[in-house]
Structure 1
Amino acid sequence: MARASKRDFIVETATGIFLEQGFKGTSIDMVVNACKVSKPTVYNHFPDKSQLIDAVIDDWLRAQKPIIPQCDNESALWCVLNESWWRDEAIAMYRLVIGEGWRFDEAAQHFWREYDAKWREYVEKYGKERHLSSEDIALLQARVSHELWTRLSHGGEGS
């Protein structure tokens, strides 16, 4: 396996472990065992767990290609959010960042800027395109945020 692809494989494998076990619950030994590589191999690419989670979040964000189509109505907006932004893996990433982001603050902030803020901007743009008042846009954003929090607290499924 080439050096770059080994790094990618470690990050890909670690992503699943972090999403399932959390940051504190994931050890380098768990990553080593899941990847079936030596500990020095992992440490060669990632000198510590913080650098590994940074790479996990960075790679995860680069892999996200949420669709940002024009929506003709609010029902279409909700479909876009459900299908493009709030998939199960995204909900798991939210849980990881919300629950333990203080342990990897820079990577967590990257997530908030590059993922969470993007769909919020999309909702605001939708409201402005429909000439909604500032108050109505704020209400729509509140409803959308409520739906996300419902998904976070109920295993990923919305109300």
Structure 2
Amino acid sequence: MARGRPSKKGLIATAASSLFRVSGYQGTSIDQVVATAEVSKPTVYSNFPSKLLLWQEVLRLLISASDTELHTLRESLAASGSSFTEGWIRLWHAWADNPDRIAAYRIHWGEAHKLTEDEQLLFKGLEEVLIQHLSHWMNQHQIPEVLFPQLMALSREACLISKLAEPCYSHPDLTLQIEQCIAP
């Protein structure tokens, strides 16, 4: 393979990711992946013997990219002296504004019957990335851990669920609710 040239496996996973994002798991076929990646069907199957294994690879790549993205954002927020609430909301918006993560939620919440325990565990690993970065942000600002479930529920509803359906809260509503939650 030439240097700087993406691997076939990487091309296939990237193509599949874009198809899963648009069409979901059920709506994406291996034939579509073949056409989008511009590789042969045997090439796809030699790298990913099943669509489930391909979805697992997409999730692994998403976990890694998400961890890097949130780490960079969290460091930037800390360096700029962002308040707890501002940083918390920015972390959540970064999470929910990513179309690949939204696709993962749609697939895992709406098409779970098609997935095995392995995919469910990978999805939990994806969510764990968010939880770890939010927990770290709370610790940096000395927010009591006991508030984590309440802050998660508020933010999940306002930021994530609103991306999957109609918006539930405006940004000022979430800010006020978080401020009330963490107030002494």
- Contact 2:13/2:58 (8 A) holds in 1: yes
Q: Which residue in the other structure is 1:149 paired with? A: 161
Aligned residues: 155
Which of these residues, 119, 132, 138, is aligned with residue 149 of structure 2?
Answer: 138
Distance 1:78 1:31, change over 3 A: same
Q: RMSD over aligned Cα, in angstroms?
A: 2.6
Please list every run of 5 or more consecutive structure 2 residues that lacks an aligned counterpart in the other structure.
171-184
Q: Which residue in the other structure is 2:180 paired with? A: none
Aligned residues with identical type, % of pairs: 27
Please list every run of 5 or more consecutive structure 1 residues that lacks an aligned counterpart in the other structure.
none
Deviation at 1:126, TM superposition (A): 4.0
Q: Which residue in the other structure is 1:104 paired with? A: 115
**Offset from partner CA, 1:101-135 (integer Å, 9 cap, x none):** 3422312321222x21232344344445434472x
- Contact 2:56/2:122 (8 A) holds in 1: no
Distance 1:43 1:74, change over 3 A: same
Which of these residues, 79, 84, 90, is aligned with residue 79 of structure 1?
Answer: 90
- Contact 1:32/1:39 (8 A) holds in 2: yes
Q: Which residue in the other structure is 2:24 paired with? A: 22
Distance 1:12 1:73, change over 3 A: same
Q: Which residue in the other structure is 2:105 paired with? A: 94
Q: Which runs of structure 2 are paired with 1:30-109 in the superposition (5 Å)?
A: 30-64=32-66, 65=68, 66-67=70-71, 68-69=74-75, 70=78, 71-83=82-94, 85-89=95-99, 90-105=101-116, 106-109=118-121
Distance 1:131 1:43, change over 3 A: closer
- Contact 2:34/2:41 (8 A) holds in 1: yes
CA distance in 2, matches of 1:96, 1:122: 23
TM-score if structure 2 supplies the norm length?
0.71
TM-score if structure 1 supplies the norm length?
0.81
What is the one-letter code of the residue matched to 1:34?
T
Using the TM superposition, name which of 139-148 and 18-27 deviates more.
139-148
